[in-house]
Structure 1
């Protein structure tokens, strides 16, 4: 009898476990999994930070203080790269004020890792260099070397950043940069409008490193991805990769987008293209920089009148970049991508792609209001597709 009792208890435990697994599986299937893809420094991690600000509780005071070291490292990385490269440019630049030579040597001798502590002496050297007109000119030529986008933002705030009681703002956190080497995940829930049935929707958003060396990890999170948010740094048209300085960043993004578009692992995933860093793009155009140097086909580009005035160089440039990516989604399928398994059936990939949802947005990832509106559109799109799949719309 004792043996029978043990068997019954084991079966009961097994049944309870099966029940819990089924409940978990049903919940898991309802979760919308979003994947952030794109080349390095395209703004993926910034989107993840925005989701924390918008849809979770934001950053606590202790979390903000933890970001101080990262921001100060960004300050050093910025001034170090600017002054180290100024004499390597063609033509080279020399300091306008020769008295700043001591400060330049001080910063360069610290190396890329910076000081162990950020002293008053350190900030005095950085402030003196940043005020030098030749250093400013070196900054304006930063497309000729590698420099983080937030360099000017942080160097303009030295008085605030050096204070012992400094606590980073949301904007400071959004602008801070640290290379993503591991897969990051954030979970949040949004209310579902009554017109879509009410209730709430849980999202899992994954961020993976965009540098070439980190892309081998991407496949780890491909399973069950509902939508891919592919980020493009539109301002990268005149910059090269950190990992391979002979390769144009925007051209690399186009290759990566095409590989993602035809990936057999993502054929059931919707694609949302974020044409990001519109603020940086606009600033570059205002400075007189042009995309035609790296993309000579720009000269013959005919802009759609619906996109605005063709004599507006910024609008023309952003439309041209958008159409480079849209062209990939409409061109003839390469021979090695002709068939793919879709819902367990082998189909011509062109048939699968026609069923896929594809959308694009012009974005500035550091602008919380912009990302709030864009993500509301993304959420509505996903809800509408849910109804469509269920045959309710």
Structure 2
């Protein structure tokens, strides 16, 4: 075969086959060219798919929940799902029964541990509490709940190697600090949800079995201990003990113990208020997708709940890319508390440090910033019980020691941080919240939704 080409065309020279090419060499060359074309077509297809995906991403609202541990991020996510993904929420509601039972049992066991510590140190006390044989009998009758706690953790997917890390560290001396917080890995929690939903489709009370443990067995033990749980929690001396030694129970522990009459039954079914107060710390990032409607139009929202402890904050940065809005949870009731992972640091101070870092980030310069000044209900409770804010926050000065004044002062401090730390002028939306109040929070989320969508449309040059 004779090839004719214009030797003045450099491309023709490069692409022309060798003049003395043999049939074998020609076949090899054509095979190479076909492979190169296949790879080129594959790259073109991937680029087209990427462009489609990027186009789709433009219409997705990406919201990041940030804040320190126990600030209310997970509770805020529950409120979002309850308000904007109701059908899925209802499907999962019965699955929270095991978590709520665990919260109740852990609360009881924390009180029992404090009671045991008090017994052990009774002889050293100058003014011992008036414990009786009744308190010893209560403690002994409730001891099976320690085994139930382990069983419930196994049901939720905690592995044997994680059980020690999750176990409380006991001390011969009473301590105002709580025991090590229980956690479950996100993938195990999702697996539990899926498995229990299959059971719920048949019967919401069908026992869940995992790792040799049955939810029915745990429920039987809890229900048999109901009267003793109530007796322990309502005992005057036990309450005095908790107050005297400043035993700090986990968030919402009093809610679970106050509702033991309802929770510690064989036919208990969780309601929305129960689930919002349920504490289940998960490792890794939790991601939820939901369709949020406004004015008859539905948009896809992806909400990320990231860990708030110091060791988990290095995982935040990858999620800053193309984020539409950040909702920062600042628990303003924690002015008199310190970080569990670093007792040298005041929790309110840590919130301000985090907030300043977020405002200063150039990656987030076009991101909508929203703050929830959370746990106003806890702040109000502390002030009502005589806690003086300026004792822990000297800059508060002689301002009135009431909830409204404290919220106003902290609101301005967070607003000033935005003004002085942001790379460029920007708006910041601030809400005073108690995210365990589902009804009020639902109204707040509607305002948040409207503000985020307006900002999202503006950023996309659609308004």
Q: TM-score range by the shorter chain?
A: 0.7 to 0.9
Which TM-score applies when normalising by structure 2? 0.68
3-state DSSP of counterpart to 1:353: coil
8 Å CA contact retained: 1:272, 1:359? yes
CA distance in structure 2 between the aligned counterparts of 1:325 and 1:163, rounded to whole angstroms? 45
2:406 is aligned with 1:317: yes
2:129·2:241 contact (CA, 8 Å) conserved in 1?
Answer: no
Counterparts of 1:51-200 in structure 2, within 5 Å, are 51-58=80-87, 63-85=92-114, 87=118, 94=129, 98-104=133-139, 114=149, 116=151, 117=218, 119=221, 120-138=223-241, 144-193=246-295, 199-200=297-298
Structure 1 residues 12, 218: CA separation in 2 closer, same or farther (over 3 Å shift)? closer
Q: 1:98 to 1:294 in 2, by over 3 A?
A: farther
CA distance in 1, matches of 2:257, 2:347: 25
CA distance in 2: counterparts of 1:92 and 1:78, whole angstroms: 26
* Residue 43 to residue 285, structure 1, CA distance change in 2 (3 Å): same
State the match for 2:182 in structure 1: none
Q: 1:124 Cα deviation (Å)? A: 3.7
Give the CA deviation at 1:210. Answer: 1.0
Query: 1:83·1:135 contact (CA, 8 Å) conserved in 2?
Result: no
Which deviations, in whole Å up to 9, do the C-alpha atoms of 1:215-240 show, x marking residues without a partner? 22222322211211000112222222
CA 1:186–1:278 in structure 2 vs 1: closer, same or farther (change >3 Å)? same
Match of 1:378 in 2: 448
SS of equivalent residue, structure 1 residue 232: strand
Question: Could you tell me how far 1:392 is from its partner in structure 2?
Answer: 6.7
Q: Does structure 2 retain, via aligned residues, the 8 Å contact 1:93–1:138?
A: no
CA spacing shift, 1:256–1:17, aligned 2, 3 Å: closer
Alpha-carbon distance in 2 for matches of 1:247, 1:106: 40
Give SS of 2:283's match: coil
Maintained 8 Å contact 1:292/1:298: yes
Q: May I ask how many residue pairs the two structures share in their alignment?
A: 360
2:304 pairs, out of 198, 206, 209, with 206
Confirm or deny that 1:227 pairs with 2:325: yes
String of CA shifts for 1:161-188, please: whole Å, max 9, x gaps. Answer: 1211211111111100011321001111
TM normalised by structure 1 equals 0.79
Gaps of 5+ in 2: 1-26, 152-217
For 1:60 and 1:225, how far apart are their aligned partners in 2? 25
Per-residue CA deviation, residues 333-382 of structure 1 (Å, 9 max, x unaligned), is 5xxxxxxxxxxxxxxxx5x331x331110112122232222222222222
Structure 1 gap segments, 5+ residues each: 302-309, 334-349
SS at match of 1:359: strand
- CA change 1:106–1:327 in 2 (3 A) is farther
2:149 partner SS: coil
Establish whether residue 299 from structure 1 lines up as the match of residue 397 from structure 2: yes
